[in-house]
């Protein structure tokens, strides 16, 4: 389920800030969601001005937008592997970003807007758009992963429901495993049609409420080890920067 919160202007500032960090000749992972979409549009504008980059889309939606914006695309298999160019930087949004956690030690903030938080880069929850499996593949493969967000996504402790993509045949078994781990799973339903949300990979999504997640890394390991789980929405140790759009500018926190 998608999150709402910050204004579109905040999201645009965050997305455009990250897009400006992309250098000529780089391969860019293109995230999914409203904030990442602003980064994709800005990259399209920069291509019109002469920037030479190629993108790797994380979803059908990001692929369609990138094509509309004139961004040349590579499949993930073309970007990663022997004799492949690799992914230099990935830009993606988040549903929640933990700030000031242990992953943030030795980090600082910079940028043109303050409006508090962004003490550093902590773990994330992603998957509001049900694209977290492909997003994690691309974000993990990138040399740098830049998160784009508005202030409403910053929290001291992750507490949002964790999206878990599951094989359809494993739905019940995974749900039982989630309950055993202290969570409450809910099958994500589609908003404009009858039935559940089906991911681009043909799977289902369970939104799993655990309350405050004191140890995201431990929960991530538990979910990853559960048979039937394709991927979960906890991203630990992947983000290098968080670009937070504010009323007055952008705050950048670095790992």
Q: Helix crossing, 34-48 with 8-20: angle to 10°?
A: 50
* Side-chain half-sphere CA neighbours of 238 within 13 A: 29
Choosing from 103, 135, 165, 241, the catalytic residue is 135
- The DSSP code sequence of 54-103 is EEEESSHHHHHHHHHTT--B--HHHHSSTT---EEEEEEE-SEEE-SSGG
Active site residue 135: yes
| CA torsion angle 2 21 61 247 (round to 10) | 40
Catalytic residues: 135
């Amino acid at each position: 389920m998608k999150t709402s919160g910050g204004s579109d202007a905040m999201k645009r500032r965050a997305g455009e800030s990250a897009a400006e960090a992309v250098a000529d000749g780089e391969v860019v992972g293109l995230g999914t969601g409203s904030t990442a979409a602003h980064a994709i549009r800005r990259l399209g504008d920069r291509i019109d001005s002469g920037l030479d980059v190629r993108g790797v889309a994380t979803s059908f939606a990001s692929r369609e937008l990138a094509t509309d914006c004139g961004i040349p695309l590579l499949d993930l298999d073309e970007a990663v592997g022997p004799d492949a160019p690799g992914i230099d930087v990935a830009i993606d949004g988040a549903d929640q970003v933990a700030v000031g956690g242990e992953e943030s030690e030795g980090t600082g903030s910079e940028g043109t807007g303050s409006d508090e938080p962004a003490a550093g880069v902590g773990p994330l929850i992603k998957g509001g758009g049900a694209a977290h499996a492909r997003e994690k593949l691309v974000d993990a493969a990138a040399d740098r992963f830049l998160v784009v967000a508005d202030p409403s996504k910053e929290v001291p402790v992750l507490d949002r429901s964790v999206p878990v993509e599951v094989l359809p045949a494993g739905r019940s078994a995974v749900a039982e495993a989630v309950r055993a781990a202290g969570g409450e799973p809910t099958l994500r339903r589609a908003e404009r049609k009858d039935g559940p949300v089906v991911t681009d990979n043909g799977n289902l999504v369970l939104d799993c409420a655990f309350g405050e997640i004191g140890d995201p890394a431990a929960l991530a390991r538990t979910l990853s080890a559960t048979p039937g789980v394709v991927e979960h929405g906890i991203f630990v140790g992947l983000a290098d920067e968080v670009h937070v759009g504010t009323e007055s500018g952008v705050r950048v926190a670095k790992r």
